[in-house]
Structure 1
Amino acid sequence: MMKTLVFSLLLTLTAVTAGRAQDCMGMTFKAGMGFELSHFNAKDKPAGKVIYLVKDVHKEGGATVMDITAQFEDEKGKQRTPYSIHYTCTGTELVADMSGMMQAMQSNGPKDMEMKLKSNKLVYPGKLSVGQKLSDGQMEAEMTSNGNTMMNMNMVMANRQVESKDPITTPAGTFDAYKISSDMSFENKVMGIPIRNSMRVVSYRTDNQIFDIKSETYNKNGKLMGYSVLSKVY
């Protein structure tokens, strides 16, 4: 009887603690929060969406860490295997997880493929301002199968700069967003053979949202390839 009572109290305490909202840099994070980003091609036709669900919010040292599950759904409603990403708010910076793209690739590749991250960091300061230059973001990963290296991937976001502040309207609402431009470069080595690509990314962010309000991708010739918008927050 006593053991059952103690166990029940522990479960209750855990539930209350896990459900408690955490505030950081003007943003409130709580397990159960959801975000939907809708993707479109250059001709404004739907190309799928990603649904992000905050599964857990906890403290690590002085930082607030969010464990987030991402679920991609194509334009026909077919879902891929969900994957996990992590965001860290230090109080002065939001550190974004760039591994989602690679995890999505891994989930749809051979089952025995494993991904090892060597670097994974994209930082946004607590306050943005026009003319501000942001630090480079980088993600480096190695894909292995049965102990053998199959692919090395390196993605860098350089020349990140806040260009302007503009009102942006999406299905999720109207936001005063900062326009951030950056140069993204990829280098993938498959069986030792390098494959390189580059593009330009223009994103729009606010100080109080974890995800971009809108993000546009252009090829190296400046032609729009596609874009995404924040379509739901719940």
Structure 2
Amino acid sequence: MKTLLISLFALVVFPIVSQAQDCLGMALKTGMNFELSQFNAKEKPIGKVLYQVKDVHKEGGSTVMDISAQFEDEKGKQRPPYTIHYTCTGDELIADMSGMMQAMQSGGMKDMEMKMKANKLVYPGKLTVGQKLSDGQMEAEMSSGGGGPMATMSMTMANRQVEGKESITTTAGTFDTFKISSDVNFENKVMGIPIRNTMRVVTYRTENQLFDIKSESYNKNGKLMGYSLLTKAN
């Protein structure tokens, strides 16, 4: 479960679009690849998530990216891929938070049907130190055989704020990033019984990359649980 939570912060194939689409200064096109490597608190590699842009297309005035995501553990064993979607409106980037739910479906919950009720994490086109960001929210219902919900899962990213700026170097390059902190609250209900968890997440973003350059996860006592790094980007 801890690895799955870290993976979240560390996300169907459509007709190919050969021409790059601009998104907040980023030129995005089909076939682009990204790699987010994951480490535990002792800096030991525990896996990575491989992303590939499958399609970039226009929907109204927005640019929509369909992205394949696949988790690979430290031994190279891969889980089935899943698809996430990012939307660029011209003023903000809206990230898809459903990756964790889809990853769980590919595991022990693969026979369950999932219905998303909320799924949105917004990054403004321009970040400034001291800026407060809107909450991110994801909520899903799980059911089986067409019956009523057997489980509900929700996650809220609250108190999101740009705390400062920091230069970070990875194998993908050196980036001038904005440090963003948030409080993450989870609540899963199975047969009406709630299971709750909280953690604090600190991410480091730059305005010309789709994914976070670095993401750190801390438990409710402030102890580092693990982190991810953007290690490849083309």
Common fold: TM-score over 0.5: yes
1:152 maps to 2:182: no
In 2, distance between residues paired with 1:112 and 1:202?
A: 33
Give the equivalent residue in structure 2 for 1:211. Answer: 211
Note the 1:6-85 alignment, pairs <5 A: 18-85=17-84
Instruction: For residues 178-233 of structure 1, give each alpha carbon's deviation from its aligned partner in whole angstroms, at most 9, with x where no partner exists.
Output: 00000000000011100000000000000111100000000000000000000001
Shift of 1:138: 0.1
Q: Identity rate of aligned residues, in percent?
A: 77
Instruction: For residues 71-116 of structure 1, give each alpha carbon's deviation from its aligned partner in whole angstroms, at most 9, with x where no partner exists.
Output: 1000110000100000000000000000001100111124421111
Q: Secondary structure at the match of 2:27?
A: strand
Consecutive unaligned residues of structure 2, counting only runs of 5 or more, are 1-14
In 1, distance between residues paired with 2:201 and 2:157?
A: 9
Give the equivalent residue in structure 2 for 1:7. Answer: none
In 2, distance between residues paired with 1:59 and 1:53?
A: 18
Give the equivalent residue in structure 2 for 1:191. Answer: 191
Q: Secondary structure at the match of 2:100?
A: helix
In 1, distance between residues paired with 2:27 and 2:143?
A: 38
Give the equivalent residue in structure 1 for 2:10. Answer: none
| TM-score, normalised via structure 1 length | 0.92
Q: Secondary structure at the match of 1:135?
A: coil
| TM-score, normalised via structure 2 length | 0.92
Structure whose alpha-carbon radius of gyration is higher: 1
In 2, distance between residues paired with 1:30 and 1:229?
A: 22
Determine which structure has the larger helix proportion and give its number: 1
Consecutive unaligned residues of structure 1, counting only runs of 5 or more, are 1-13
Instruction: For residues 28-59 of structure 1, give each alpha carbon's deviation from its aligned partner in whole angstroms, at most 9, with x where no partner exists.
Output: 11000010000000000011000000000000
Shift of 1:24: 1.8
Give the equivalent residue in structure 1 for 2:200. Answer: 200
Q: Secondary structure at the match of 1:103?
A: helix
Give the equivalent residue in structure 2 for 1:180. Answer: 180
Give the equivalent residue in structure 1 for 2:89. Answer: 90
Q: Secondary structure at the match of 1:134?
A: coil
Does the C-alpha gap of structure 1 residues 119 and 132 become closer, same or farther in structure 2, counting only changes over 3 Å?
same
In 2, distance between residues paired with 1:115 and 1:42?
A: 32
Shift of 1:146: 1.1
Give the equivalent residue in structure 2 for 1:164. Answer: 164
Does the C-alpha gap of structure 1 residues 130 and 219 become closer, same or farther in structure 2, counting only changes over 3 Å?
same
1:118 maps to a residue whose letter is K
Shift of 1:145: 1.1
Q: Secondary structure at the match of 2:54?
A: strand
Aligned residue pairs: how many?
A: 219
Instruction: For residues 130-170 of structure 1, give each alpha carbon's deviation from its aligned partner in whole angstroms, at most 9, with x where no partner exists.
Output: 00000000000011111232210110000000000110111
Q: Secondary structure at the match of 2:31?
A: coil
2:198 maps to a residue whose letter is S
